[in-house]
Structure 1
């Protein structure tokens, strides 16, 4: 949605709670999964800024006959541009909802939607997704889907109560390299997975948190002032969930996090805008680097780095280690016991990526991030249309997102471990892996 918003936190909380009550409880979608929808999908779009518009362009390319019938943004000009994109694809003009920050309530109450895409600033994600589920509409919400443990539980409770599923749009779970690696893991090439390292190493202070030209705050900047935590863990940990069978055979049990001091933001402003810029001396709560260690029920460890405030090229630094081998995304290489060319050397990963290419990756890429944006939307729409389970369910979505709040809790306790909630309420013990299951590469 537009970056312009004058809603206070108190008013936001009051109105968000009211929206949950106003929408009422819709029919459980689980009770409707008896047949494929006999018509094109009807989808609503909330948020038509840069990310929302990019997703819209991708969706119109990959889903023939998709009907985007409602568009909402408090910035009328942005919503109008989105409507023009839709009509240029030969589709009817959508109904626009642009009357302030809460116009989405009217859109979701209007009915006749199968799904809604939510691509707004973070604070709106949970209330919008909750309202959608209560209205019987399947939400696909941008990352993270929740900012607090309470919001995570709210999403789980409403999904279970209504029978309506909710999927977070974690596109890195759908990257071709990560899907190929998943096929290799499931084929047993790495043996038993023991440890994974991951990171979101992406300098965002010079263009995303702040305006690139003036240094003025953009909407995410307030979180750097107010909080010290892993603000953006889902791109790091998203693929790790499937590699480690989290929520379907294993689960996170605790998290311990530590943060460095905050130095990089002030230094960037001094270099780019001068020592007199207000942000050159402003106090930021957010440490430059956050390191979190998660333990699982089966004794695995997962290390996650938040690294978004220092000068550096982009990197996710995935490393997966098992009893029979190791994969390094940084090296784009693997080593497999008994298979690699030398006892202590690396072999290139691309030949393995080609051999174990996932069926989702065989179509021509659509959208950014190596086609991952297109794949996640395609499989979401297919699941809603065919009345099948979503590829990433509400439990996966909140497990990734809960790291935001839990890492902050641990940092505030000087790195003491914090228990990780079991959002599945024990179902992880009997749930079978379902994300991106590619039968050709299942372990024999």
Structure 2
């Protein structure tokens, strides 16, 4: 069933209106800017003034809206959702199975410059009882031809980070909704351009943040909205995951692209897994907003030490100089005065943890392992059983899909099921381009803050004032 929504503006007209965006001063966190070495005392004072002013979201420098808001914009209802997938590595190849598990979803096209990967993906589609998909494997830019197809509703981008922006942009310019793996882009200028393009093309651009759909995260979200934590005060999220062996593996990633980012940026390269769920708890972009971030980083020693112990002389990695902080710690302030702590560490020995904590005037939850302390339920300063709240507060998606297939404990399937359900039924998506930009903004801004010795960096109001309006999100109501 074709999308009945009005056709988006032409690629030429959109490019004309957005041509000045990248150079208009809105990309404050672009690579190579914002360093303490380059800032004069006067500039530093002006930056601090800007941070304070943006707490209200009313600065004169806030870009004018370039299109109507995409907040609360529903998909067009359709009986079948037609999907194209760009990137068929470890993540893309496994997520393909989840799209194929949904009877109202058809995988129409697949793309990867490595032919073997596209052939394996096409065979999976056929084995699932669907027609053979179109295959795009003719070089690095063949994804453009996939996006030009007229029989696609949704494009899923699951490629190295530096490719996400151009692929998402191309999908929207060709009239497709797009979902992007984390992070959605690497600079503020690119984040703003995705916001502008989503508004102009009337196509959703979404950060596919699977951790927002974790069972614990969704239960905490519903408890927070039910007032069980009282007035919310603080939260914490992280991506602390020892990836040293995978980043130096010659086969796990297609090339060293992920490790190379540790030679380019000092900040939090992957904030979304921790930031997204806590932002949801606090209704960020739905009644509150994040206004500033201050980040601090340790020396970058872990990757070099691992290389010295495990990589042979002459390995290409010996040409790399790592500057990325082994552990980055950021403090994010919201307009309501709440504080969010973010951490990132993939370079040192550490059991996996996303921290996933929320505290308020009536108690606190901490994850990894899950434990809770709420008044009046608990006393004596002893943690309580988080599982005791499952019956009352588990999200309807987890009650309906108690044993979901797929990786990461089922959260991947829950995310894909819900997104495809929203597209089929013509519902508003659980998150949008404003959430994608907000959850990704710590990538460039933490880099700038660390270079400026922890100086706070303003987080733009990507919603351009819409954050003041309460609206639905991941804490959704089950469709009739």
TM-score tier, shorter chain, comes to 0.7 to 0.9
Task: Indicate the residue corresponding to 2:441 in structure 1.
Answer: 402
Task: Indicate the residue corresponding to 1:48 in structure 2.
Answer: 88
Task: Indicate the residue corresponding to 1:315 in structure 2.
Answer: 353
Cα displacement (A) at 1:331 = 4.0
Taking the aligned partners of 1:371 and 1:214, their CA distance within structure 2 comes to 22
Task: Indicate the residue corresponding to 2:111 in structure 1.
Answer: 72
Matched, 1:352 2:393: no
Taking the aligned partners of 2:292 and 2:99, their CA distance within structure 1 comes to 37
Taking the aligned partners of 1:388 and 1:136, their CA distance within structure 2 comes to 18
Q: Contact (CA 8 Å) 2:449, 2:457: kept in 1 or not? A: yes
Matched, 1:237 2:278: no
| Residue deviations 1:360-397 (CA, integer Å, cap 9, x gap) | 11213121111100011111111122222111111111
1:36 to 57, 73, 77: 77
Q: Give ranges in structure 2 of 5+ residues lacking alignment.
A: 1-10, 19-67
Q: Measured at CA, do residues 215 and 406 of structure 1 come closer, stay the same or move farther in structure 2, by a change above 3 Å?
A: closer
Taking the aligned partners of 1:40 and 1:213, their CA distance within structure 2 comes to 36
Question: TM-score normalised to the size of structure 1?
Answer: 0.88
Question: TM-score normalised to the size of structure 2?
Answer: 0.82
| Residue deviations 1:184-228 (CA, integer Å, cap 9, x gap) | 111111001101122111011211x22168999622121111211
Taking the aligned partners of 2:471 and 2:120, their CA distance within structure 1 comes to 43
Instruction: Please list, as runs of the form range in 1=range in 2, the aligned pairs for 1:133-148 lying within 5 A after superposition.
Output: 133-148=172-187
Q: Give ranges in structure 1 of 5+ residues lacking alignment.
A: 1-16, 440-444
Taking the aligned partners of 1:315 and 1:75, their CA distance within structure 2 comes to 33
Aligned-residue RMSD, C-alpha: 2.7
Q: Measured at CA, do residues 417 and 45 of structure 1 come closer, stay the same or move farther in structure 2, by a change above 3 Å?
A: same
Cα displacement (A) at 1:416 = 0.3
Instruction: Please list, as runs of the form range in 1=range in 2, the aligned pairs for 1:38-437 lying within 5 A after superposition.
Output: 39-61=79-101, 63-207=102-246, 209-211=247-249, 218-273=256-311, 279=317, 282-340=320-378, 342-362=379-399, 363=401, 364-437=403-476
Larger deviation, residues 255-264 vs 67-76: 67-76
Cα displacement (A) at 1:130 = 1.4
Taking the aligned partners of 2:173 and 2:317, their CA distance within structure 1 comes to 42
Aligned length: 416
Taking the aligned partners of 2:333 and 2:272, their CA distance within structure 1 comes to 17
| Residue deviations 1:124-169 (CA, integer Å, cap 9, x gap) | 1111111111222111111111111011101110111111111111
Taking the aligned partners of 1:47 and 1:395, their CA distance within structure 2 comes to 24
Q: Contact (CA 8 Å) 1:42, 1:69: kept in 2 or not? A: yes
Which protein, 1 or 2, shows the higher relative CO under an 8 Å CA cutoff with sep ≥ 6?
Answer: 2
